[in-house]
Structure 1
Amino acid sequence: MQHATAHRRSTLIAVLALTGSMASLCIGTSFAKSLFSALGAQGTTALRVSFSALILLCVWRPWRMPLTRANARAIALYGAALGATNLLFYMSLRTIPLGLAIAIEFTGPLAVAVLSSRRAIDFLWIAFAVTGLLLLLPVGAAAGTLDPVGIGYALAAGVGWALYIVFGQMAGNAHGGQATSLGLTMAALVVLPFGLAHAGTAMFSPTLLLFGLAVGILSSAIPYSLEMVALKRLHRRTFGILLSMEPAMGALAGLVFLHEQLSTVQWLAIASIITASVGCTMTSRGKREA
């Protein structure tokens, strides 16, 4: 009885931690979007990733751990993909709502999961994902006024996310904290030139540096920490199902903090992509939960 109660309490803590992680990420991204007028998407991305890297370098101190040449190469690729994904995603946010950008980006990891399985049931999830994308693409009156360039950036961010997963698995032999902190450092090296070229010295304004630190904490430090709490207590499949709710949470954050109104068709598109993600996770191969 006590064991069952402890298990339920542990699961509740994990669910709350993952929900808090997604909420922090979406709120941080909403806040970041408000900095675009001063720094542009490029400068905002550079500050966010750079501060995130500094925070995790201080936390993990990766130089204390041994690093093989193979792991270093994999982490460099993982970090480059991470930096490109962040930059492309923030570029998409200039012209399309947060929730829709997250939903479109989700098609990247969804494609990795489906292509690695190739079972008949996965064609159903492909159909849901494609339906969601077709509802968002500017191919008819139902699509509304979504910017095709913004959609293109979000799709490219999805490709970057897929590469991030592939390269992250290659770096799996390294310590998790070491890989994440060094990967973010590489990501910062990738995006900083774009930020400096666009925003220039404005990036070093004390006020904007403070805001950039807040974005880094909300978008990376807090989510990563809470995700670690959740991963230790939740089955991988349950974790994936809950994480699939992020597009909806992003849409709500965009509505509350950025006043981004979505049409009924756009909400249906988000629901279709979430269904694809949840379904793919639920039918994935792996150990069943106890």
Structure 2
Amino acid sequence: MIRQRNGLDAAAVVVGAASVPVGAALGATIFPFVGPAGVVALRQAFTALILLGVTRPRLRRLGWASVRPAIALGGVLVVMNLSVYAAVERIGLGPAVTLEFLGPLALALLASRRRLDLACAVVAGAGVVLLTGSVPGIDPLGILLGLTAAAAWAGYILLSQRAGRTLPGLQGTAIASLVAAVLTSPILVLTLVSLAPHEVALVLAIGAAAAVLSSALPYSIDLVVLRRMPRQRFGVLQSVHPAAAAIAGLVVLGETLSLWQVAGLVLVTLANAVAVGVAPGRPPAPQAARPEVTQAPRHPEPAH
């Protein structure tokens, strides 16, 4: 019975991790209507509505010291999502998400002094070279945007820990999402005003689906599963992010990767799995945090 439950938990984590790039891929389908910034604004608005409805934080009872990390987290969310969606537009979903994944991986490696982690860093670096350098004429701005998203994800994890210490449950995420929604509200207004009447329903529906798949569903799964699953195993399962992004890009957007790019993606994924999974004598690596999910700190992590 326990083994069956563990298997179901693992499957749920993989489903949650895979749903994130699927939501991003759906969002990318409306780039022609609203652009990457418009997708981000829509996603933040719906995410804030969902999380505020679920958590119902009592803002008047919270002090400034409690909410300050969550407010900063909201600003980081905007940078992270704007940069990764802009990267998706320029270099594709699979490469963009793989580059973004370097953020938590780098924090995991920096938290250790083992030779194995140095080897993982070298392997991940080789993966990035294959992923980007093997494509003639690849957009350098797209690569830079992907790396910016990686840095923002790392910053997110750092602030996520602080917010999780001062606010219970998902309240930190809800407040951060509200801040992000407010910051992107001018973009949302301009986006909706510029749409033709017959485009509004489609854009709103896809924006809502992206918010559910990339935020509400994985958050809920994480919250339940992490009560039972070891954080180290959870972090290893998060390694499906790059592969799921490549598959979502192929199925939803018709994007294909070269064999060298696939090899690069595999190397980055392998580096993460080894760095997080083979971790004797130190706290679990920070991959347990997913973009936009704030929970109670899972370890004294340096760093979703």
Task: State the Cα distance separating 1:43 from its structure 2 match.
Answer: 0.4
Quote the offset at 1:49 in angstroms. Answer: 1.1
- The structure 2 residue matched to 1:143, chosen from 122, 135, 149, is 135
Structure 1 segments unaligned to the other structure (5+ residues): none
AA matched with 2:243 = A
SS in 2 for 1:62: coil
Residue identity opposite 1:185 in structure 2 = L
> What are the superposed Cα offsets for residues 54-111 of structure 1, whole Å, 9 maximum, x if unpaired?
1010011011795332221111111211121011111111111211111110111111
Equivalent position SS for 2:256: coil
Equivalence for 1:241: 236
Contact 1:47 1:209 in 2 (8 A): yes
Deviation of 1:207 (Å): 3.4
Matched, 1:179 2:172: yes
Deviations 1:224-258 (A, max 9, x none): 11222221221100000000111001101111111
Distance 1:35 1:27 in 2: 14
Task: Report the Cα distance in structure 2 between the residues aligned to 1:88 and 1:193, rounded to whole angstroms.
Answer: 18
User: Who is 1:97 aligned against?
Assistant: 92
Q: What is the aligned-residue RMSD (CA, Å)? A: 1.9
Structure 2 residue 262 is the aligned partner of structure 1 residue 267: yes
What residue identity is the alignment partner of 2:78?
G
Distance of 1:145 and 1:18 partners within structure 2: 36
* CA–CA distance in structure 2, aligned partners of residues 107 and 24 of structure 1: 19
Alignment length (residue pairs): 278
1:161-172 correspondence to structure 2 within 5 Å: 161-172=153-164
Instruction: Give the 3-state SS of the residue equivalent to 1:176 in structure 2.
Output: coil
Query: How far is 1:34 from its partner?
Result: 0.3
Of 177, 185, 203, 1:192 maps to 185
Letter in 2 for 1:163: G
Deviations 1:130-175 (A, max 9, x none): 111122334xxx3334211111111100000000001111112111
Match of 1:214 in 2: 209
1:286 maps onto 2:283 in alignment: yes
TM-score, normalised relative to structure 1: 0.90
Indicate conservation of the 8 Å contact 1:84/1:191, yes or no. no
Distance 1:76 1:146 in 2: 35
Query: Equivalent residue for 2:63?
Result: 68
Q: Equivalent residue of 1:171, what SS?
A: helix
Find out whether 1:129 has 2:124 as its counterpart: yes
Provide the C-alpha distance between the structure 2 equivalents of 1:71 and 1:93, rounded to a whole number of angstroms.
Answer: 34
* Alpha-carbon displacement from aligned partner over 1:200-242 (angstroms, at most 9, x marks no partner): 5136934322221122112211121122222122110000000
Q: 1:121 to 1:27 in 2, by over 3 A?
A: same
TM norm structure 2: 0.86
